[in-house]
Amino acid sequence: MTSGDGKDHDLDAQAAEYVLGTLPSEQRQALARRLQHEPALRAAVDAWERRLQPLQELAPAQLPSDYLWQRIERSLDGLSPAASIVTPSRWWQRATSWRWTTAAGLAASLFMAVVLWREAPAPVPTYLVVLVAPQDQAPGWVVQASSPRSAQLIPLGMAEVPAGKTLQFWTKADGWSGPVSLGLIKPGERVEVPLESLPPLENNQLFELTLEGPAGSPTGKPSGPIQFIGRAVKVL
């Protein structure tokens, strides 16, 4: 891999975490400032927003609870009067940002904003993978892992699979000698995938779905065309 490829991957990873809302506050503010004068970073952020747009439609409108409003008001008490004023346009920008966070959180059950709006705390996944079609980068599946013992493969739609073919799920960390099969997958089916026999998940770990024969790959390795592919992002 060339140094240019490494820089491109780092840029794409930063853009993904920015859009998903998983960057720490200081890093997020620094990246937001860079967007004004780094066209490549701006393009990467725009691309991730387009990829995750379908997830936004999964999030119903949701009003903050009285408890959350009280927390917001307390956080504003220490601000100067000028800083406390929120114009309608600024409020809409914040609301749009919240909606993005809610959309991804509902689809992957991972964002703290969603946890705050629920009556009871929910488990927060440590890794997220958005599997996209290599042809058009359209998201088709989400992988979420909140436990070292298993991960969930969640469809975002109904994938079309030709007769006599099946989808096979694979993963490979950077240091592995080859990919490992995680089983055969039915289109549109939500699956709990056991991970106990594998090493711990890693940031940037590859996941993919390939098109194979009805019994899966005859070689034990991916042999058919890639239908969806993505890499793990550590979110907490």
Q: How confident is the model at residue 109 (pLDDT cuts 50, 70, 90)?
A: very low
164 and 184 both lie in a single domain: yes
Could you write out the three-class secondary structure of the chain? CCHHHHHHHHHHHHHHHHHHCCCCHHHHHHHHHHCCCCHHHHHHHHHHHHHCHHHHCCCCCCCCCHHHHHHHHHHHHCCCHHHHCCCHHHHHHHHHHHHHHHHHHHHHCCCHHHHHHCCCCCCCCCEEEEEECCCCCCEEEEEEEEECCEEEEEECCCCCCCCCCEEEEEEECCCCCCCEEEEEECCCCCEEEECCCCCCCCCCCEEEEEEECCCCCCCCCCCCCEEEEEECEECC
Mean of all residue pLDDT scores within the chain: 75
Residue 62, pLDDT score: 56
Q: What is the mean pLDDT of residues 32-40?
A: 92
Considering only residues 216 and 116, tell me which one the structure prediction assigns the higher pLDDT. Answer: 216
Residue 107 has pLDDT above 50, yes or no: no
Q: How confident is the model at residue 168 (pLDDT cuts 50, 70, 90)?
A: very high
| Last-in-domain residue among 68, 95, 117 | 117
98 and 35 both lie in a single domain: yes
Provide the number of structural domains found in the chain: 2
Residue 175 has pLDDT above 60, yes or no: yes
133 and 229 both lie in a single domain: yes
19 and 110 both lie in a single domain: yes
157 and 183 both lie in a single domain: yes
188 and 210 both lie in a single domain: yes
122 domain residue, yes or no: no
30 domain residue, yes or no: yes
| Last-in-domain residue among 117, 138, 157 | 117
28 and 90 both lie in a single domain: yes
For residues 68 and 93, what is the distance between their CA atoms, to the nearest angstrom?
19
179 and 86 both lie in a single domain: no
205 domain residue, yes or no: yes
What is the domain range of residue 62?
A: 3-117
Residue 208 has pLDDT above 60, yes or no: yes
183 domain residue, yes or no: yes
Residue 229, pLDDT score: 92
158 domain residue, yes or no: yes
Q: CB under 8 Å to 178, separation ≥6 — which residues?
A: 172, 221
Residue 142 has pLDDT above 70, yes or no: yes
Considering only residues 71 and 191, tell me which one the structure prediction assigns the higher pLDDT. Answer: 191
8 and 110 both lie in a single domain: yes
112 domain residue, yes or no: yes
User: For the domain that residue 173 is a member of, what is the CATH number?
Assistant: 2.60.40
Residue 183 has pLDDT above 70, yes or no: yes
Residue 74 has pLDDT above 80, yes or no: no
227 domain residue, yes or no: yes
For the entire predicted model, the pTM comes to 0.53
75 domain residue, yes or no: yes
Residue 28, pLDDT score: 85
For residues 123 and 41, what is the distance between their CA atoms, to the nearest angstrom?
32
| Last-in-domain residue among 117, 146, 180 | 117
20 and 71 both lie in a single domain: yes
Considering only residues 157 and 79, tell me which one the structure prediction assigns the higher pLDDT. Answer: 157
Considering only residues 110 and 214, tell me which one the structure prediction assigns the higher pLDDT. Answer: 214
Q: What is the mean pLDDT of residues 145-164?
A: 86
Residue 160 has pLDDT above 50, yes or no: yes
57 and 12 both lie in a single domain: yes
107 and 142 both lie in a single domain: no
